[in-house]
Chain A
Amino acid sequence: MMMSVNPMLLELDGVSKHYGGVAAVDLCSFSVAERSITGLIGPNGSGKTTVFNLISGFSKPDAGQIRFDGKVLNGMAPGSIYRKGVSRTFQMARIFPRLTALENLMVPVRRKGLQGLIWGYKGVGEVEAAREMLHKLSASHVADELVGRLSYGQRRLVELGTLMMSHPRMVLLDEPAAGVHHSVLETLSRYILDAQGDGVTFVIVEHNLNFVMDICHHVVVLDRGRTIAEGAPDDIVDDQVVVDAYLGD
């Protein structure tokens, strides 16, 4: 497959995370190629979200190494990892509910010096960039709505748009399709494919397997915190180990 020639952007090497006596992630290893869309699937409790927390710095691995673009991320704060170009969404879309959609998108814009801090943020091209992003996400009509008033699907779009405003290299999406209206889902797929075309790498945790199989180039299957299979989507659905993990053996 074409994707396999791209260098690896993200590498997990024997990563473990224990909560009390329970191993949420257990010697987990997998790699994500640059400019790919990689699906991370597995039954409930298989450690997918924990893997996201470890990569994005929201929790610290007990063992193993996480490398992004060759550099070790272990022990870095979420803000520092974000500045390296790794962004994530949350299962329950985390947005700023009392800000408008447009304001949400402008929060992560880097502002330089005192002028950027004290001067009004409106009118230095930020508003235009944010409107453009909302347009790409087919959400222009909610630009001036408080995000707390939007539907769940729209919030997810705003959350994604907010991340994309700072041009991340890799985006981790935690169940982007869960509870989302089908029209929003189409917008989301189209947007992800466009952004991937522009060079962004995606890792997607998702239960909606149709969504995963449609847009992912590569799928990693976790069970009980370990990688039990990985490969092209078509190979994964036929894999007996995966079927067993999902249906119980």
Chain B
Amino acid sequence: MTRRLRIAGWLLVLVASLLFPLVFTNPATLSIALVTLMYVGLASSWNILGGFAGYISLGISAFFGFGGYAFAITLHAFNVQAGYTPFAWLPLIGVLTAVVAIPLGWAALRTRQAVFVTVTIALMLVIQLSAENLVSITGGATGYGFPIPNWSAAFYYKPFYYAMLTVVVVSIAVAYVVRRSGLGLGLLAIRDDEDKAEAIGVPTKSYKLAAFVISAGLAGMIGAIFAYSVLYIYPQNAVDPLISMGAALMAFLGGAGTLAGPVLGALILAPAQTELSYYVNGQLYLILYGALFLAIVRLLPRGIIPSIGDQLRSRSSRHVDLLEHDGHHVEGRVDADDVKVMEGVRE
């Protein structure tokens, strides 16, 4: 794909998401759109650690939930009035979550692969248990309320939608900047071969921690907006394992490690998940969701975007093949050495 086409694609998605609430005004539709946006943001911030560095976290709702609680408690502590003003506090929530993520990431990142996955799940459960048990701070199992904005039912989701969209755009922009930076190159090297990266001087420990902390900070802001939109936060809706798995699954479906992959994955799966929960009784949709997870890993292990990339690339390499056949008789697969030799012939 050419650069221009790619920019056009991003702009198209942005304009469409800006116009969405003006076209679809039904509050039920908007609430699904809000959840979808939330997942786009979560999958994109998950991707900074999970996709770039290859450190699969299944516990991003630890920070999603922490952000929600931090938001509720901060608004209460500073007696912030309901309405638009709370949104101005979001950057602070992001920073706060990131700071808390530093020691947690430092500890978790001493492990790798399957152990790291397990540690992130444990981390999530620890945060949930803390929310349940630190009753004097979090309200325990009964939870914590937000100031209630005085918005009409028809209008209610719009401010949340645009606030979420802003944080989502920030998340994608951060992922883009990271991907193009020395930090991003180092993270990709860690994903491919961490020991080798370490051996050639990549500061792997600080790079991984940076990715962990950035990812957590973004998830914190997203969780804060979501919690405010439902007006009430309690341990089960704040720290939800399904949200953790959903974010990772969506990134995998679209293509972990690519910029567009997590966005595409979330745009497909998040609405589908909500639809599914409407039509299927009770918690049965969770089983279907699990089956989908297996199917993706089995059929599209690298995700949609990289698979399309492969298609395009193999078409262009066939082109090289034909070119070589044209001048010289070459049998079998053309490998790079042969191409080099043949280039020598041509010169």
B188/A103 in contact, CB under 8 A: yes
> What 0/1 readout, one digit per residue, does chain B (188-199) give for beta carbons within 8 Å of chain A?
110111011111
Q: Note all chain A residues with C-beta closer than 8 A to B197.
A: 96, 107
Q: A56-B199, A78-B198 are in contact. Are A120 and B180 (CB under 8 A)?
A: yes
Q: Which of B191, B196, B340 has the most CB of A within 10 A?
A: B340
- Rounded to whole angstroms, the CA-CA distance of A94 and B202 in the bound complex is 15
A138/B340 in contact, CB under 8 A: yes
A96/B337 in contact, CB under 8 A: no
Q: A118-B181, A141-B339 are in contact. Are A108 and B188 (CB under 8 A)?
A: no
- Rounded to whole angstroms, the CA-CA distance of A106 and B198 in the bound complex is 14
Decide yes or no whether B185 CB sits under 8 A from chain A. yes
- Rounded to whole angstroms, the CA-CA distance of A53 and B198 in the bound complex is 15
A108/B336 in contact, CB under 8 A: no
B182/A79 in contact, CB under 8 A: no
Q: How far is the CB of A201 from chain B (nearest CB, A)?
A: 18
Q: How far is the CB of A120 from chain B (nearest CB, A)?
A: 4
Contact of B199 among A82, A97, A141, A149 (CB under 8 A): A82
Chain A 123-163 residues near chain B, CB threshold 8 A: 138-139, 141-142, 145, 149-151, 153-154, 162-163
B336/A107 in contact, CB under 8 A: no
- Rounded to whole angstroms, the CA-CA distance of A139 and B344 in the bound complex is 12
Contact of B188 among A56, A99, A162 (CB under 8 A): A99
The size bracket of the interface on B is: 20 to 34
Decide yes or no whether B341 CB sits under 8 A from chain A. yes
Contact of B189 among A78, A99, A151, A153 (CB under 8 A): A99
B188/A96 in contact, CB under 8 A: yes
B181/A121 in contact, CB under 8 A: yes
- Rounded to whole angstroms, the CA-CA distance of A150 and B193 in the bound complex is 17
A108/B181 in contact, CB under 8 A: no
Chain B 329-347 residues near chain A, CB threshold 8 A: 335-337, 339-341, 343-344
Q: Note all chain B residues with C-beta closer than 8 A to A162.
A: 200
Q: Note all chain B residues with C-beta closer than 8 A to A78.
A: 195, 198-199
Report the count of interface residues on A (CB-CB < 8 A). Answer: 45
Number of A-B pairs, beta carbon distance below 8 Å: 97
> What 0/1 readout, one digit per residue, does chain B (154-198) give for beta carbons within 8 Å of chain A?
000000000000000000000001001111011011011101111
- Rounded to whole angstroms, the CA-CA distance of A98 and B182 in the bound complex is 16
B183/A118 in contact, CB under 8 A: yes
B201/A82 in contact, CB under 8 A: yes
**Which stretch in A32-40, A109-117, A208-216, A237-245 binds the other chain?**
A109-117
Chain A 49-90 residues near chain B, CB threshold 8 A: 56, 58, 78-79, 82-83, 87-88, 90
Contact of B337 among A79, A82, A88, A154 (CB under 8 A): A154
Q: A94-B196, A162-B200, A166-B201 are in contact. Are A117 and B340 (CB under 8 A)?
A: no
Contact of A145 among B198, B336, B343 (CB under 8 A): B336
Q: Note all chain A residues with C-beta closer than 8 A to B183.
A: 117-118
- Rounded to whole angstroms, the CA-CA distance of A99 and B180 in the bound complex is 13
Q: Note all chain B residues with C-beta closer than 8 A to A107.
A: 185-186, 189, 197, 200, 202
Q: How far is the CB of A191 from chain B (nearest CB, A)?
A: 14
B181/A120 in contact, CB under 8 A: yes
Q: Which of A87, A108, A110, A142 has the most CB of B within 10 A?
A: A108
Q: How far is the CB of A1 from chain B (nearest CB, A)?
A: 33
Tell me the nearest residue of chain B to A56, going by C-beta.
B199
- Rounded to whole angstroms, the CA-CA distance of A97 and B339 in the bound complex is 20
A183/B337 in contact, CB under 8 A: yes
Q: Note all chain B residues with C-beta closer than 8 A to A110.
A: 201
Q: How far is the CB of B263 from chain A (nearest CB, A)?
A: 20
Contact of B200 among A108, A145, A151 (CB under 8 A): A108
> What 0/1 readout, one digit per residue, does chain A (166-207) give for beta carbons within 8 Å of chain B?
100000000000000101100000000000000000000000
Tell me the nearest residue of chain A to B341, going by C-beta.
A183
If A90-B196, A94-B193, A107-B189 are given as contacts, then 20 extra A-B residue pairs at C-beta distance below 8 Å, sorted by A number, are A78-B199, A82-B200, A88-B199, A96-B188, A96-B192, A96-B193, A99-B185, A107-B185, A107-B186, A107-B202, A119-B182, A122-B180, A142-B336, A149-B336, A150-B336, A151-B337, A153-B336, A154-B337, A166-B200, A184-B340
Q: Could you show 26 A-B contacts with beta carbons less than 8 Å apart? A: A56-B199, A78-B199, A79-B198, A82-B200, A83-B201, A90-B196, A94-B196, A95-B192, A96-B192, A99-B185, A99-B189, A99-B192, A103-B188, A107-B202, A111-B182, A117-B183, A119-B181, A121-B182, A121-B185, A122-B180, A138-B340, A153-B336, A153-B337, A154-B340, A163-B200, A183-B340
8 smallest beta-carbon distances between A and B, as pairs = A96-B192, A108-B200, A181-B337, A111-B182, A78-B199, A151-B335, A120-B180, A154-B336
Please give the residue numbers on chain A whose beta carbons come within 8 Å of chain B beta carbons, in ascending order: 56, 58, 78-79, 82-83, 87-88, 90, 94-99, 103, 106-111, 116-122, 138-139, 141-142, 145, 149-151, 153-154, 162-163, 166, 181, 183-184
